Structures are given as C-alpha cells and as structure tokens.
Chain A
Amino acid sequence: MLEIKNLHASVEGKEILRGVDLTINAGEVHAIMGPNGSGKSTLSYLIAGREGYEITEGQILYDGKDLTDMAPEDRAAEGVFLAFQYPVEIPGVPNTTFLKEAVNAIRRYHNEEELDALQFVKMLRAKTKELGISDDMLKRAVNVGFSGGEKKRNEILQMAVLNPKLAVLDETDSGLDIDALKVVSDGVNHLRSPDRAILVITHYQRLLDHIVPDFVHVLAHGKIRRSGGKELALELEEKGYAEYSVAAE
C-alpha cells in the first residue's frame, strides 16, 4: 500500500531524510521509533503533503501512485490520514460541521452523493458510540479548549469517520496520561483491519504495549537504521537510542 523508496527530503534547505526505504502492506501495523530530531515528523508530513517539505530524491508511492505532486486534500480523499501530534484549533467551527465538510468533500472527490445532515448525524452517532466518545465533544469548536486527551481522541474519531486506508499516527501518545493512552489505543485497535495499514510514530515504547505492531523500525539521523519485530521496541526501551546517535555512526 505504501512504498517509500530512497527518500531524501529537506526543510528550509536543511537535509532531514537521507534515504528512507519502507514498505507497508494492507493489514500491517508498523511502528517507527527514534530519537528526537531523527526526522519522524518530517516523514509523516511528507506522506500527508505539507507545504515546505521538499522531496529532493526518491519517491513515495501509495497504491502504486506517486504522491509527490498531489495536493494534501486529494491525498486525504484517496485514503491517507494523519493523526496530528498537535491537533489544531479552529475557533467557531463546531466539530460536527468540520467532520461533515470533510466527509462530503471526500465524497465529492469520488463523485458520490453528499450526505445530508440527517444521514451524516446518524453515521457520526454510530462512530461515537463505537469509540465511547461523548456527543458533547461534537458540539464544541474543533479542538478549542480540549484537554490533551480529548484532542487525541478527537483525532481518532476523525479517523473512524473518514475511514482511511493508510493512517499515520504522529506521536499520538505525547501529552497523554495512562488512562487517556488506553482510550486512544483502544480506538486505534478498533480500527485495525485487513484493508487498512497503520503507521505509528512514537518516541516511547509504552504506546506499543497497547498498539502492538507487526514491525518496528528505528529511524535515526534521517535513515532507517534497523528493522525488526515488536521485540525491537523492548530492546530500545532498555538500551535507549545511544547506539544510533550520530556519534556512534
């Protein structure tokens, strides 16, 4: 589903990724771990298509298509979802309105009929029930005044509603206490499916106790330094990232 080949990328002229290779198939959950500044978030932004992140070499193929020239909204419509490390506040826009706009924008992209208010609310209610999210969160403005945990839960709700094929979770565990972490991971696990690929980006192993990955990769200094099974995460937890530091290279 996702095939990253020899990806080099720079931000404001500074090289961040130096040849990343990664293949993720439908149904798999991959985790990318790495020290701060290793390029983890850059990779997620490149997949989602954020402006200012420039691919200098290599490519990102999604379902066989090169994503490079695709607008972020088109990637989203094709099924790419990014759960943000820092979800953004949109004052005055109720969560429901935002989600309805998003769902219908994607339906328009696929030449499908838009959902009317009633159909949409019905669908939304089903999702909130499934994930155990209170309806109160739907009426509030997008992420405004949300606690850290609520913001992350809102990301998971959006993911459930938009039903992506590829979900990238960027540091979803940051800022969460242990209870919130559990709620969020339950949400993600709920969305695991044979048709969906999930890429979890995290600094800490603890998230992977809850979302158990099929593969773990260590991203350090702009490159994948090691890949393995879930046991690799435990090893990292114990030894830290010292052996992957620039000095150790």
Chain B
Amino acid sequence: MSAKAQTIEQVNELTDDKYKYGFVTDIEMESAPKGLSEDIVRFISAKKNEPEWMLELRLKAYRHWLTMPEPEWLKPDFPAMDYQDAYYYAAPKSSGDKPQSLDEVDPELLRTYEKLGIPLREQEMLAGVAVDAVFDSVSVATTFKHKLEEVGVIFCPISEAIQRVPDMVKKYLGSVVPYTDNKHACLNAAVFTDGSFVYIPKGTRCPMELSTYFRINAENTGQFERTLIIADDDSYVSYLEGCTAPQRDDNQLHAAVVELITMDNAEIKYSTVQNWYPGDEDGKGGIYNFVTKRAACRGVNSKVSWTQVETGSAITWKYPSCILIGDNSVGEFYSIAITNNMQQADTGTKMIHLGKNTSSKIISKGISAGRADQTYRGLVRMGPKAVGSRNYTQCDSLLIGDQCGAHTVPYIESKNKSAIVEHEATTSKISEDQLFYLRQRGIGEEEAVALVVNGFCREVLQQLPMEFAVEAQKLVGISLEGSVG
C-alpha cells in the first residue's frame, strides 16, 4: 500500500473511532412517565423503597426547585431547558429484583461495560480497583464489596446506603451541598436516582481504588446521580469516576451532586475522567453536564484533592470546590478541560478558606480547538479567621486554530490581612515550529498535537491514579482529532 493510501486509511479509522462510546445497548427498560411532577418524585422514591424521611427530603427539594431561577451568569449559551420533555427514571427491567451477585447481572449489561473497557467480573478487573456501575438510573453492579467490608469500608449504591446506614445518610446528605444551593443541585436532590456511597472508617487506608462508572443509555433521559463520600479521622481513599453516553442528536441532561466530607487528618483524592458524548462537529446533540461537586474539609489537617479530565459533553458547568474549615486543611484542584468543535465549558473551582493556616492550590489547563469556547471561573475566598492561609492559582490556556476562545475569570476575596493569594495565568498557541519539529522526527500531525497537549497537561495528568493516567492521555489525543489541518 502506498504511504498516501495508508495515511488515508488510518485517518478514516481514526474518524470512525472519534467517539467510540457512542453505541446504544438494546435492553428492555422500565421508565417513569415523561415529565416532572410531585408524582414522579414519589414514583422514584417508591421504586427505591425509600423510607418516609427520604421522600420528604425529595419533596421539599422539588417544591423549592419550582421557585428557583435558572443560573444566568454562566458564559455558555444554550436554549432554555424543557424539563417536561425528559424522563427522570430509566432502569433495565432485569434490575427489578436486585441482583445479589455478578452472576445474576444481565449479561447484556456486563457486555456493555466490557465494551466500555470496564469489565465487571472481578477476576478480569483491573487489579486493585473496585467499581460501582451505574446504568441510567440504577446501580447495576458493585465489585469487591465484600472484600472492602472486611476492613469496614462501605462502598455501595446510595440507594442501598439509604436502607443500610440511614443515620449516616441522614446526617451527611445535603450537608455540603444543600438543596437550596442552585437550581441543578436542587433538581438532583428531588429526583436523584443512584450513585455511590463511600464510608472509610477511622484509621483506615482504603485498600483499593474505588471507582464509579456512569453510563447514560436511554434516550431523552436525564441522569441525576448523587455521590457521598465520608472519610473519618485518619483515613484515606482514592476515588475515580468515569462517564460516557451514546451518540444521540438530542441534548441530554446530567445533573449530579457530589459531596465529600473529611474528618481530622483524613484525605480524599477524587478523580474524574468525564467523556460524555460531546455532540457532533456542528454542535448537534451531546450531554449538558451541570454538576455540583463540593468538599467540606471539616477536620484539622484534612485534605481533599480534585483532579478532573473533562473532554466530553456539549456543555460543561462544573466547579469542584473545597470548604477548608479545619485548621491546616488543604484543598487542591487539578483540571484539564478540552473543548473541540462546538463544545462549551465553564469550569473551575472555589476554595473557601475558613480555618487557620489552610492552603489551596489550583492548577487549571484549558485546551480549546475548533469553534469551542472555554471559561475558567474560580473563586478564592479568605475568611476573617483564615490566619496565615494561602492559595496559589495557575491557569494556562492553550489554543489550537484561530476560531476558538479561552477566558479566565478569577474572583479573589480576602478578609484576612495575613492571607496570601497568588494568581498566574498564561495563554498560548501550539506553534507551527513545534508541529514541524515533531513531524520532522516522523510523528504525524495529529499525534504531534496530542503530544504537545499532553505535555501541556502533564502536571495534572501526573495527579491521576496510574491505572487511569494512560487512558486519560489517549483520551486527550482522541478528543482533539480533526482539530488541525
């Protein structure tokens, strides 16, 4: 085959491969009737056999939601949501009688996760990673559950936690992100369907990586998952979430809420590889990813580290934040956001320093290509009692081509004279010189772009658990295909 024909073939392969998670699983589903009402909220609660208090919480949130305005301050532009034109509950029929073990899980679902690169059979799994698999509105399988229970770690679907450890859920659910926080979080509080619950007991270092894999499959269905992680005194856990969805022409809503709580000397490392369907080149379809993630570092010397690789979704709206309450507590935010074609992202973090000698670090790497538009939005607030606290922020934007945009909107509020806040920002373009240099060494143009971008993101990629870093690097390359030439 001539070099040229070979190149063409390779390019075709790559294009077909662009969003390899775009397939649909054909499986019998059970859905709630379309639309949103108190009845739907009751339907979801009944489906989950929830206790009365949980239903009350949901209804309170729903009634409040009706009165809340849409957030108007964000940069991405999109048509108003029609909340009545979506389904709020969809579950594979086979999950009706909760499977007790993996052997009872619908083989079609196991195949789906296998295709996504997440084998759920424990012997085939990545060694040392426990997975909770959420398919549309329900958790279909959680691996290594029993092994974790031996050391006292609870890792289960949140619907199960509501039954098993209701006092803990009652105490912490909504304690970091109250339902009154914002419209999307409020909707989530009313209609959340599943998600993961993690409790790490005192003095325990979680023996394996925990991971939740979210998959939206059903059409016109919103996914509203809720994650709650509590790290008790002197404990540590590393948790990773991944997300994909089929390729569809309609926009689908994903409004999740994640709450993290760390007690004295505890640490949570939370990583996200978000690869929801981004829509096609012209911006048709794709997921609206409106997520509220927040951590409360309640204990002294506690630490939360957020790492995110955001490559998917038509619109991303997300600000994983840390409230640094305990003295000497530490918050970190490492972010890579890649937008290509017509994607829009408005993402960043909030570091709220309340305790003494608290510190935070923000490293944000934004890459924009095609006609995409991206905003870093961050808030650093030093409270009056945050004596000796400090923040360091570094925001770097990389532009590919001349039709994309990058914006940096940092908010800094300091009410304490002894606090130190540093902010650095750069914007650069991939240079012709770099591309030519790499190509002269035999590296193809798209690989060259991927290499430069991976280099640009290195600081953040290094924060990911090793098992996922390689995958994330590949994802960086794939997300930018077609961005040059």
> In this complex, which of A49, A81, A142 has the most chain B Cβ atoms within 10 angstroms of its Cβ?
A142
Beyond A93-B451, A93-B455, whether A88 also contacts B434 by CB under 8 A is yes
Rounded to whole angstroms, the CA-CA distance of A162 and B452 in the bound complex is 20
Q: Which of A71-92 contact B (CB under 8 A)?
A: 71-77, 81-82, 84, 87-92
A238 at the interface (CB under 8 A from B): no
Contact A72 B440 (CB under 8 A): yes
**Interface digits, B378-410 against A, CB 8 Å rule (1 contact, 0 not)?**
000000000000000000000000000000000
A50 at the interface (CB under 8 A from B): yes
Q: Which residues of A contact B440 (CB under 8 A)?
A: 48-49, 72-73, 75-76, 81-82, 84
Q: Which residues of A contact B459 (CB under 8 A)?
A: 92
Q: Which residues of B contact A91 (CB under 8 A)?
A: 455-456
On chain A, the number of residues with a Cβ less than 8 Å from chain B's Cβ atoms is: 34
Beyond A101-B443, A105-B447, whether A93 also contacts B436 by CB under 8 A is no
A24 at the interface (CB under 8 A from B): no
Q: Which residues of A contact B432 (CB under 8 A)?
A: 51
> In this complex, which of A72, A87, A88, A98 has the most chain B Cβ atoms within 10 angstroms of its Cβ?
A72
On chain B, the number of residues with a Cβ less than 8 Å from chain A's Cβ atoms is: 25
Contact A73 B443 (CB under 8 A): yes
**Interface digits, B450-480 against A, CB 8 Å rule (1 contact, 0 not)?**
0110111111000000000000000000000
**Interface digits, A24-55 against B, CB 8 Å rule (1 contact, 0 not)?**
00000000000000000000000011110000
Q: Which residues of B contact A102 (CB under 8 A)?
A: 438, 441-443
A158 at the interface (CB under 8 A from B): yes
> In this complex, which of B445, B458, B459 has the most chain A Cβ atoms within 10 angstroms of its Cβ?
B458
B437 at the interface (CB under 8 A from A): yes
Q: Which residues of B contact A84 (CB under 8 A)?
A: 437, 440
Rounded to whole angstroms, the CA-CA distance of A158 and B438 in the bound complex is 11
**Interface digits, B423-453 against A, CB 8 Å rule (1 contact, 0 not)?**
0000000011110111111111101000110
B3 at the interface (CB under 8 A from A): yes
Contact A109 B437 (CB under 8 A): no
Q: Which residues of A contact B3 (CB under 8 A)?
A: 70, 74, 77, 109
Rounded to whole angstroms, the CA-CA distance of A72 and B440 in the bound complex is 5
Contact B437 A162 (CB under 8 A): no
Q: Which residues of A contact B433 (CB under 8 A)?
A: 88
A61 at the interface (CB under 8 A from B): no
Contact A73 B451 (CB under 8 A): no
Contact B444 A87 (CB under 8 A): no
> Which of B442, B454, B455, B456 is A162 in contact with, Cβ under 8 Å?
B442
Rounded to whole angstroms, the CA-CA distance of A105 and B443 in the bound complex is 6
Rounded to whole angstroms, the CA-CA distance of A105 and B7 in the bound complex is 12
A141 at the interface (CB under 8 A from B): yes
> In this complex, which of A49, A51, A77, A88 has the most chain B Cβ atoms within 10 angstroms of its Cβ?
A88
Q: Which residues of B contact A87 (CB under 8 A)?
A: 437
Contact A90 B451 (CB under 8 A): yes
Rounded to whole angstroms, the CA-CA distance of A131 and B447 in the bound complex is 28
Q: Which residues of B contact A181 (CB under 8 A)?
A: none
Rounded to whole angstroms, the CA-CA distance of A73 and B455 in the bound complex is 20
A106 at the interface (CB under 8 A from B): yes
Contact A92 B437 (CB under 8 A): no
Contact B452 A71 (CB under 8 A): no
> Which of B7, B444, B455 is A90 in contact with, Cβ under 8 Å?
B455
Contact A105 B442 (CB under 8 A): yes
Contact B442 A76 (CB under 8 A): yes
Q: Which residues of B contact A92 (CB under 8 A)?
A: 454-459
Q: Which of B321-367 contact A (CB under 8 A)?
A: none
Q: Which residues of B contact A141 (CB under 8 A)?
A: 455
Contact A105 B437 (CB under 8 A): no
Q: Which residues of B contact A109 (CB under 8 A)?
A: 3, 442
Rounded to whole angstroms, the CA-CA distance of A208 and B242 in the bound complex is 58
> Which of A72, A90, A93, A142 is B439 in contact with, Cβ under 8 Å?
A72
Distance (Å) between the CB of A158 and the closest chain B CB? 6
Q: Which residues of A contact B456 (CB under 8 A)?
A: 91-92
Beyond A98-B451, A101-B447, A101-B451, whether A73 also contacts B458 by CB under 8 A is no
> Which of A50, A93, A106, A142 is B442 in contact with, Cβ under 8 Å?
A106
Distance (Å) between the CB of B20 and the closest chain A CB? 20
Q: Which residues of A contact B434 (CB under 8 A)?
A: 88-90
Please give me the residue from chain A that is nearest to B461 by CB atom. A92
Beyond A102-B442, A105-B443, A106-B442, whether A93 also contacts B437 by CB under 8 A is no
Rounded to whole angstroms, the CA-CA distance of A161 and B453 in the bound complex is 24
Contact A73 B439 (CB under 8 A): yes
**Interface digits, B1-40 against A, CB 8 Å rule (1 contact, 0 not)?**
0010001000000000000000000000000000000000
Contact A71 B439 (CB under 8 A): yes
**Interface digits, A123-150 against B, CB 8 Å rule (1 contact, 0 not)?**
0000000000000000001100000000
Distance (Å) between the CB of B484 and the closest chain A CB? 12
Distance (Å) between the CB of B219 and the closest chain A CB? 39
Given contacts A73-B440, A75-B440, 18 further A-B contacts (CB under 8 A): A50-B436, A72-B439, A73-B443, A76-B440, A88-B431, A88-B433, A88-B436, A90-B438, A91-B455, A92-B456, A93-B451, A93-B458, A98-B441, A98-B451, A101-B443, A102-B441, A102-B442, A109-B442
Interchain Cβ contacts under 8 Å between A and B, 12 examples: A71-B7, A71-B439, A73-B439, A76-B439, A88-B431, A90-B452, A93-B454, A98-B441, A101-B447, A102-B443, A105-B443, A141-B455
Residues on A lying within 8 angstroms of B by beta carbon are 48-51, 70-77, 81-82, 84, 87-93, 97-98, 101-103, 105-106, 109, 141-142, 158, 162
The list of the 8 closest CB pairs from A to B, nearest first, reads A92-B455, A93-B455, A92-B458, A76-B442, A88-B437, A102-B441, A72-B439, A106-B442
